[in-house]
Amino acid sequence: MGLAIAVEMVAISLSRMIFAKYKSAMSNSMTVDPNPVRKVRSGRGVRGSSERQAEKGELLRRAALNSAIECLAAMPYSEVSTTLIAERAKISRGGMQYYFPTRLDLLRSVVAHLHSRRLEIFRKDLLAIRDHSDLIGTMIDLHWQHLNELEFKAYQELVLAARSERQLADLLMSSYRSFLEEWHSIARELIGWDAENPAAARAGNVAHYLLEGMAYGRLGGQLRDDEIDEIKEFAKQTMRAASRETETARMVNDSDT
């Protein structure tokens, strides 16, 4: 009996030792630095993925805004729906809802995007022609050309629709002021046109609204090409006269100092 008990006790002891080693090995194998997994998940991989998602989202958003501008330039405002814009931009309805929860959100973004595109075109024009011998004439010709292109046609449609939609009218009014300020800032930066000077501001307004008025007149088929050329020439003469007046005043002020 004594021998049997001793043998049993040795077996139990060996079993406990083996189990302890097995448990330790399993514990080590399960806890061997799980941090690499967490590091991968919280490191560049995730940030890169987030950045890619943000870039993709911005591309989709821009696609929707460009689609809205194309629709507004091609058809009546009343026929331009978020569904149509989404279909042309190849964006799901859920995506449109995510980026533009309400129609007013969409309109606000469209107007901002529209103004941004027009200002970008204006800046590129001035950079390309600021050393031109007939800067004012070329600038007016280019501006008239753009008033007959996609961006201004879309803007025209919004302006016409705003007559019967108060929220849109308020939106256009507030955004147009900031648009003009940026327009004047670009002209001052690139060609030295000072809209703070009364003569320059007056001439700029005459030329600007003559051209925009002609764009609306042409939209209604009210102007012939020869009439358009005559009014454009008057706008050029007005701007040139103001430029000479402004330059003369600057020279006088410089001599006085």
* Residues whose CB falls within 8 Å of the CB of residue 3, separated by 6 or more in sequence, listed in order: none
CA dihedral (180, 186, 192, 193) in degrees, to 10, reads: -20
- Kindly report the number of other CB atoms within 10 A of residue 89's CB atom: 21
Running DSSP on this structure, what letter comes out for residue 101?
S
Question: What is the spatial distance between Cα 132 and Cα 67, in angstroms, rounded to a whole number?
Answer: 35
What is the sign, positive or negative, of the torsion defined by CA atoms of 213, 216, 220, 223?
A: positive
Which residues of the chain carry a pLDDT beneath 70?
1-48, 248-257
DSSP 195: T
**86-130 pLDDT per residue, tens:** 999 999 999 999 999 999 999 999 999 999 999 999 999 999 999
Supply the pLDDT for residue 246. Answer: 76
What are the φ and ψ backbone dihedral angles of 147, each rounded to 5 degrees?
A: -70, -10
Task: State residue 256's pLDDT score.
Answer: 56
> How confident is the model over 8-38, as pLDDT tens digits?
444 445 455 544 544 454 444 333 344 443 4
